[in-house]
Amino acid sequence: MRIEDVRKHLTTPLTSPAYTSTIPRFTDREYLNVVYRTDPGALRAVVPEPLGIGEPLVRFEVMKMGDVSGFGPYTEAGQAIQVHFEGEQGEYLHAMYLDNFPATASGREVSAYPKVIGAPSLYVDHGALVGTLDHGTLRVATATMGYKHQPLDEDTARAQITVPTFMLKAVPGYRRGMRVQELVRTEITDVVVKEAYTGPARLQLFAHVLAPLADLPVLEIVSASHILTDLTLAPVEPVFDYLKGDMQ
């Protein structure tokens, strides 16, 4: 394979890449969001500077992807922490767990999503919307919400989906140092809200050394939402370089 041909490839293996170069379009992306209050000290231990913390709020999310170009259907779960950066309110993506390897690899390599393999699920059980996350054979999270109890205002639902999002991009070098270590920002703008609901919710987190969601304990449920959307993810932009200690 010639050098100019190698340069055309996005990832490896060259003859059977881990994911496609297509920009994925999400159709019928279904969210269960449970926002809860946690221990401020626990947040300070995991949120990287220069992000700041206001109210100690975390959003546990389960997303069931009905159809995704390039990846097919899959499910994802994780935690997003409310933060602020230079006066802008947003969320810091703390951890994400998927049951689809190409989407996991693409999210980490192309963008900066903190994705690892897990076993999330989202389904309806006797009048309750249920979101779970397993790591291996062990349950690490269970969320329940009253199924379509009350309509949620479309603008409110859209604001939840399009909140500015911050992530940490980390690419190690070959001699134990870092080649890239950046705080990046993204914001979904191409989104259609198809359905949106709110209702009562509960959330249980279980301790696991490799999926430490319970390190951000649930002290109080603040809100919950169930949203169905079509959307396209936006590219990320660096906003702080940890290796240089300054803005991009």
pLDDT at 154 over 70: yes
Query: How confident is the model at residue 238, as a pLDDT?
Result: 96
Determine the pLDDT at residue 246.
64
pLDDT of residue 247 exceeding 70, the answer is no
| Residues contacting residue 183 through CB under 8 Å, at least 6 positions apart | 48, 50, 51, 85, 166, 167, 168, 169, 238, 239, 240, 242
Strand duo 115-117 + 88-98: pairing:
parallel
Let me know: does 192 contact 27? Beta carbons within 8 Å: no
Q: Is 177 exposed, middle or buried, given 0-12, 13-18 or 19+ CB atoms closer than 10 A? A: exposed
pLDDT score recorded for residue 151: 98
Structural Rg of the chain based on CA atoms: 18
Secondary structure (3-state) at 101: helix
Checking if the pLDDT of 22 tops 90, the result is no
Tell me what the mean pLDDT of segment 201-221 comes to: 98
For the chain, give the percent of residues with pLDDT over 70. 99
Active site residue ranges: 115
User: 13 falls in which pLDDT band (50, 70, 90)?
Assistant: very high
**Which pLDDT value is given to residue 23?**
87
Task: State mean pLDDT over 174-197.
Answer: 96
